[in-house]
Structure 1
Amino acid sequence: MTELIETIVKPLVDYPDEVVVTKSMNEGLVTYSLSVHKNDMGKVIGKHGRTAKSIRSVVNAAGANRNERIHLEIV
């Protein structure tokens, strides 16, 4: 799942080397924290959060195939 998030986000940003995804698990919920360069934050969030919502939708759909509850945080 980490690779999926990186594959989606890296083409969107100006500093792809600074894209970091960390994973933590807590009682059946898998949380992925995405951190990017501060200048790329707006590109990842998008206008009115549309890009972030789209990324979360794709990640949640992939998690549904694995029967996992997934939460994506953008740090």
Structure 2
Amino acid sequence: MPDYRELVEFIVRRLVTDPDSVRVEAETDDRGVTAVTIHVAPDDVGRVIGKRGATINAVRLLAKAAAVKVNDRVDVDIVEDE
């Protein structure tokens, strides 16, 4: 099984201005769905989301592409830390 947390963290750290504030968590539920949660500084939320959500959708697409290869399911969400 790929490490989705590491994949998403690698991408997001390169998008933000404060990479030290990036925290990515991954949990797999009883149905086998891996939920990846991205925590970034308030100033970096817009950078990660992108115009009309293009950037976060691209991150989701990459995670799902990695999951399809091994028949997994993955969801990626972003949370603004205060």
Deviates more, 1:37-46 or 1:17-26: 17-26
Runs of 4+ in 1 over 2 A off after TM superposition: none
Taking structure 2 as the reference length, what is the TM-score of the superposition?
0.86
Unmatched tracts of structure 2, length 5 or more: none
Q: Percent identity?
A: 37
The alignment status of 1:22 with 2:34, answered yes or no, reads no
1:43 to 21, 40, 47: 47
Residue type of the alignment partner of 1:39: D
State whether structure 2 residue 68 is matched by structure 1 residue 64.
Answer: yes
C-alpha RMSD over aligned residues: 0.8
Q: Secondary structure at the match of 2:77?
A: strand
Residue of structure 1 equivalent to 2:10? 7
- The amino acid across from 1:15 in the alignment is D
Kindly indicate which of the two structures has a greater share of residues assigned to helix.
1
Give the aligned length: 75
After TM superposition, give the deviation of residue 58 of structure 1 in Å: 0.4
